[in-house]
């Protein structure tokens, strides 16, 4: 023994750490995770949002990085989301979409008019798949992923807003056609811009659900033509 201290060897990285790193990266595993999550979401399932939460847990990504930040006031967040979502829907239906020459009737969902039997299923879908699933994927998850690729500058965030809005529009094309995609592109851009500034998801979840529930009310009570012609006769 000469008193020399033996070098300390760093422990090998556990397999779980390597897997978490792979999920956070953009190698085969990271890209596969993105494709699976997007495929589940584009299929119109809330499962995409669930997969994002699983991804965040397994990749050891803090939930705040996907927008899950506790609001200062849950009541204030809920109220702001409802007011904004409902007002935004009426703005889109009465002014914006008529300017695009959209058909006042949303034929994909017109079967809901005066159809109480269809309400439970569509209410569940709007709240889970839209409010939770789509916001978690298209705003929270995709902003985190694209932010890692592009950075956090103004041009990078603008590109992220437009790319995610494009994906959001694509998700609506198969069911609602061109008009639905146009509306989704606009709403996706607005929601994406808000998220780019705030980094918070809960208000947008509330707003998205309120937007869709306002649309449902307009359709259910057969008010689409009346609302669409409030400004432009």
**pLDDT string in tens for the chain (233-residue length):** 444 444 444 444 566 789 999 999 999 999 999 999 999 888 766 789 999 999 999 999 999 999 999 999 999 999 999 999 999 999 999 999 999 999 999 999 999 999 999 999 999 888 888 899 999 999 999 999 999 999 889 999 999 999 999 999 998 888 889 999 999 999 999 999 999 999 999 999 999 999 999 999 999 999 999 999 999 87
The total number of structural domains that make up the chain: 1
Query: Is 97 contained in some domain?
Result: yes
Q: What angle do CA 189, 192, 194 make, to 5 degrees?
A: 110
Domain membership flag for residue 200: yes
Angle between helices 154-198 and 142-150 in degrees, nearest 10: 150
In terms of residues, how long is the chain? Answer: 233
Domain assignment of residue 41, yes or no: no
How many angstroms separate the CA atoms of 214 and 106, rounded? 13
> Which structure tokens are listed for 140?
């929270």
pLDDT at site 14? 61
Does 137 fall in a domain?
yes
Q: Can you give the pLDDT at residue 15?
A: 64
On whether residue 44 sits in a domain, the answer given is no
Say what the pTM is: 0.89
The residue range of the domain holding 74 is: 66-228
* 109 part of a folded domain: yes
pLDDT of the residue at 6: 47
Write down the pLDDT at residue 83: 98
The answer to the question of residue 103 being in a domain is yes
Torsion angles phi and psi, residue 114, rounded to 5: 60, 30
**Does some domain include residue 45?**
no
Instruction: Say what the pLDDT of residue 21 is.
Output: 94
Phi then psi dihedrals of residue 199, to 5 deg: 70, 15
């Amino acid at each position: 023994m000469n008193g020399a201290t033996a070098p300390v060897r760093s422990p090998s990285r556990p397999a779980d750490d390597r897997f978490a790193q792979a999920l956070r990266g953009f190698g085969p595993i990271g890209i596969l995770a993105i494709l699976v999550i997007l495929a589940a979401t584009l299929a119109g399932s809330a499962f995409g949002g669930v997969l994002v939460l699983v991804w965040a847990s397994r990749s050891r990504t803090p939930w705040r990085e996907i927008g899950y930040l506790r609001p200062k006031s849950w009541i204030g967040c809920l109220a702001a989301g409802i007011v904004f979502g409902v007002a935004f829907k009426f703005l889109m239906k009465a002014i914006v979409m008529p300017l695009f020459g959209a058909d006042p009737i949303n034929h994909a969902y017109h079967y809901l008019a005066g159809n109480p039997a269809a309400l439970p299923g569509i209410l569940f879908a709007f709240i889970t798949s839209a409010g939770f699933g789509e916001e978690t994927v298209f705003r929270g998850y995709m902003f985190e992923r694209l932010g890692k690729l592009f950075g956090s500058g103004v041009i990078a965030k603008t590109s992220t807003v437009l790319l995610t809005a494009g994906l959001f529009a694509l998700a609506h094309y198969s069911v609602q056609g061109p008009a639905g995609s146009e509306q989704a592109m606009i709403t996706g851009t607005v929601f994406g811009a808000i998220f780019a500034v705030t980094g918070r998801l809960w208000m947008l979840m509330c707003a998205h659900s309120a937007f869709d529930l306002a649309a449902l009310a307009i359709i259910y009570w057969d008010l689409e033509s009346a609302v669409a012609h409030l400004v432009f006769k």
